[in-house]
């Protein structure tokens, strides 16, 4: 019998890579015993990045959800694993050190065994505290490498990081091939180097199916000493997710490895339950394109899980781009043309901004720059004229050291915008906040919870936790679900009826007809437009005609992380408003025009 290889079911990521939501706690506890009965998993990825925000959006308590979900696995001796983003914790933007430290204490107390920690920039300084705090809390620390493919992301590059995180005390190393673009032979060489230099370190491989390399990669890393492989199962396998456990088990068994047997009766029941959850309501929020693999991802290197949001972004800007092209006497582009253009633009932008591995949130940042570049170029303007604050933080080094050098034009643009580059430790930019949140909870009469778990959730997910406590989160979700259900039930479309999207397009067309030189104000994030922060005012003054200079604040978009400032890129007066107070906009939508 050959060397033993274990399987980890990526149940959280299966859902996150497919759609917007994960199952409710009642659904999770229903399927847990069946997953255990399958008998082939030594680990289950149960929680972490995004999933606990989803609990709050449902109106569920994430602490209760995690405790109930992991309990059956704890009792059965199956290890549970969470995913966390180092400096960003469980969210998309940086977290103070005291909140990060409390996270590991809370998750260990709730029954989570392993903390998989990754830094999207592969900056060991961001991983150091994750390793320290995980081990301090009694968890197994798995420091993960964000895998991508470029001239600088070599075996030597990754081994330099491995040396540092092993010195920090990590128990395991994960290879997080989040876009599935890691080349099989190179990944095999990397695993071999790790195992030869650090034979006591366990190595776990995580590879998405999107561009099609993952099965070959799993065989190569197995041949070179990997200990654990992440897998999925139907109906949420393949496509933009992960290979199915049945295929990988059969392949490794044929190659002579000692792999666990699969209880197929339990597999079919787990498959049925997962499909039942999809049919219940989760399927309304799953993009059908996420079931499709595409070799287009090989070139751009974007994670397959981004395809749904990316297509929504492209649909949002498609009409606007064609309007600008038409005004310039240029031919319009189809949505497919735009997809190819965006992929090409990502390949152009990526090295210019220092080759950040294309993983959350940095994949979104690079894609956002590329998307805004397409908008700018359609208007005959230069690239890199619209870069949001979070992306600037990445460029300036506030979230970690970029793997590669910035292009000279990006450095010059930073100087023109009076930006200062940061070379210190990223965590130092974000002072402790737990005392502030503890004090507010006392004033509000809110319990800090068992092991301070409610305090942690409040400090980690401020806005979502407030919405959960007020009941507005549950109400918003129920409204969203109702709309999704109604939309799916519509069988007949009356062509003469004008949709809100059609009316918006007509409004934009009329503005450009009257003022062809009008310049758009673009939403840099998705959310709700606020022309004034006093949202409860019964009426607001009409800001049309207000003069703005380049860089002036125009309005806000309330995003998942708070208020995003929308600033002018031009000198002029506000000519027309497309998105009124309280309107929802998608990233890339036109909010207003300046002339």
Predicted pLDDT of residue 364: 84
End of a domain among 429, 446, 468?
429
Does residue 343 sit in the same domain as residue 422? yes
319 inside domain? yes
Distance CA 289, CA 241 (A): 11
Does residue 420 sit in the same domain as residue 507? no
Report whether 243 contacts 257 (CB < 8 A).
no
Q: Give the number of C-alpha atoms closer than 13 A to the C-alpha of residue 403, restricted to the C-beta side.
A: 26
**For residues 505 and 284, which has the higher predicted lDDT (pLDDT)?**
284
Distance CA 147, CA 173 (A): 12
| Token duo for residue 424 | 């210190």
Does residue 416 sit in the same domain as residue 529? no
343 inside domain? yes
Does residue 424 sit in the same domain as residue 311? yes
124 inside domain? no
Report whether 252 contacts 214 (CB < 8 A).
no
How high is the mean pLDDT of the chain?
A: 89
54 inside domain? no
Distance CA 582, CA 576 (A): 16
- Decide: helix, strand or coil at residue 149: coil
Dihedral sign computed on CA atoms, order 91, 305, 182, 47: positive
Does residue 303 sit in the same domain as residue 416? yes
403 inside domain? yes
- Decide: helix, strand or coil at residue 298: helix
Does residue 408 sit in the same domain as residue 529? no
Calculated CA dihedral for residues 498, 504, 506, 510, nearest 10 degrees = 150
Distance CA 272, CA 171 (A): 36
Give me the count of residues in the chain: 595
Dihedral sign computed on CA atoms, order 305, 311, 313, 314: positive
End of a domain among 413, 429, 445?
429
| Token duo for residue 225 | 């000493």
Does residue 407 sit in the same domain as residue 513? no
Residue 498's pLDDT band (cuts 50, 70, 90): very low
Strand partners, 44: 9, 80
Residue 360's pLDDT band (cuts 50, 70, 90): confident
Predicted confidence (pLDDT) per residue in 543-574, tens digit:
788 888 877 888 888 775 556 778 887 888 89
DSSP state of 30: H
pLDDT of residue 201 exceeding 90? yes
Chain centroid, CA 33 distance in Å: 29
Domain count, the chain: 2
- 23 class by beta-carbon count within 10 Å (0-12 exposed, 13-18 middle, 19+ buried): buried
CATH of the domain at 586: 2.40.50.100
| Token duo for residue 190 | 């990397």
Predicted confidence (pLDDT) per residue in 136-155, tens digit:
999 999 999 999 999 999 99
25 inside domain? no
103 inside domain? no
Mean pLDDT computed over 479-491 = 75
Residue whose entry in the numeric block shows the structure tokens 């004033």: 443
173 inside domain? no
Distance CA 114, CA 205 (A): 15
Does residue 504 sit in the same domain as residue 409? no
Report whether 342 contacts 349 (CB < 8 A).
no
Predicted pLDDT of residue 137: 98
Closest CA to 296 of 285, 286, 307: 307
Backbone phi and psi for residue 46, each to the nearest 5 degrees, phi listed first:
-100, -35
DSSP state of 7: E
H helices within 77-211, ranges in order? Answer: 97-110, 124-136, 155-168, 184-197
Mean pLDDT computed over 345-364 = 89
Contacts of 299 (CB under 8 A, 6+ apart): 343, 347
End of a domain among 369, 401, 429?
429
Contacts of 381 (CB under 8 A, 6+ apart): none
Predicted confidence (pLDDT) per residue in 452-478, tens digit:
999 999 999 999 999 999 999 999 999
Structural domain harbouring 521: 500-594
């Amino acid at each position: 019998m050959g060397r033993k290889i274990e399987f980890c079911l990526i149940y959280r990521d299966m859902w996150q890579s497919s759609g917007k939501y994960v199952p409710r706690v009642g659904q999770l506890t229903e399927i847990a015993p069946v997953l255990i009965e399958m008998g082939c998993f030594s680990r289950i990825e149960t929680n972490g990045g995004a999933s606990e925000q989803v609990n709050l959006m449902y109106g569920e308590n994430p602490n209760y959800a995690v405790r109930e979900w992991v309990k059956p696995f704890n009792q059965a001796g199956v290890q549970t694993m969470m995913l966390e983003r180092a400096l960003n914790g469980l969210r998309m933007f940086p977290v103070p050190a005291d909140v990060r430290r409390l996270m590991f204490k809370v998750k260990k107390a709730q029954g989570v065994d392993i903390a998989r920690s990754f830094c999207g920039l592969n900056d060991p300084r961001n991983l150091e505290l994750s390793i320290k705090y995980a081990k301090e809390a009694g968890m197994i620390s798995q420091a993960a490498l964000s895998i991508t493919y470029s001239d600088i992301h070599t075996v030597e590059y990754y081994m330099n990081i491995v040396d540092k995180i092993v010195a920090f005390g990590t128990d395991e190393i994960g290879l997080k091939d989040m876009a599935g673009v890691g080349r099989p032979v190179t990944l095999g060489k990397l695993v071999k180097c790790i195992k030869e230099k650090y034979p006591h370190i366990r190595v776990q491989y995580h590879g998405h199916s999107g561009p099609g390399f993952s099965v070959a990669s799993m065989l190569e890393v197995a041949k070179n000493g990997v200990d654990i492989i992440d897998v999925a199962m139907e109906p949420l396998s393949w496509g933009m997710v992960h290979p199915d456990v049945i295929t990988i088990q059969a392949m490794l068994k044929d190659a002579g490895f000692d792999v666990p047997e699969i209880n197929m009766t339990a597999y079919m029941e787990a498959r049925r339950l997962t499909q039942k959850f999809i049919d219940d309501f989760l399927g309304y929020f799953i993009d059908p394109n996420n079931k499709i693999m595409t070799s287009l991802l090989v070139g751009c290197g974007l994670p397959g899980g981004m395809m749904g949001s990316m297509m929504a972004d492209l649909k949002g800007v498609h009409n606007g781009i064609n309007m600008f092209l038409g005004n310039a006497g240029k031919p319009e582009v189809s949505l497919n043309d735009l997809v190819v253009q965006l992929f090409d633009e990502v390949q152009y932008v990526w090295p210019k901004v220092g080759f950040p591995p294309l993983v959350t949130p940095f994949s979104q940042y690079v894609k956002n720059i590329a998307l805004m570049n397409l908008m700018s170029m359609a208007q005959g303007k230069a690239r890199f004229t619209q870069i949001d604050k979070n992306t600037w933080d990445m460029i300036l080094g506030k979230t970690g050291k970029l793997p590669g050098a910035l292009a000279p034009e990006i450095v010059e643009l930073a100087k023109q915008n009076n930006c200062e580059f940061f070379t210190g430790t990223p965590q130092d930019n974000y002072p402790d906040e737990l005392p502030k949140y503890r004090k507010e909870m006392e004033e509000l009469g809110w319990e800090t919870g068992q092991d301070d778990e409610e305090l942690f959730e409040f400090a980690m997910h401020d806005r979502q936790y407030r919405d959960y406590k007020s009941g507005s989160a549950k109400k918003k979700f129920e409204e969203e679900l109702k709309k999704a259900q109604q939309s799916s039930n519509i069988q007949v479309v009356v062509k003469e009826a004008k949709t809100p999207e059609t009316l918006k397009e007509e409004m934009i067309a009329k503005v450009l007809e009257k003022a062809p030189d009008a310049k758009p104000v673009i939403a840099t994030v998705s959310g709700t437009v606020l022309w004034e922060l006093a949202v409860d005012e019964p009426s607001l003054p009409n800001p049309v005609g207000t003069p703005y200079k380049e860089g002036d604040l125009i309005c806000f978009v309330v995003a998942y992380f708070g208020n995003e400032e929308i600033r002018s890129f031009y000198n002029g007066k506000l000519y027309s408003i497309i998105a009124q107070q309280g309107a929802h906009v998608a990233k890339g939508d036109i909010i207003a025009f300046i002339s």
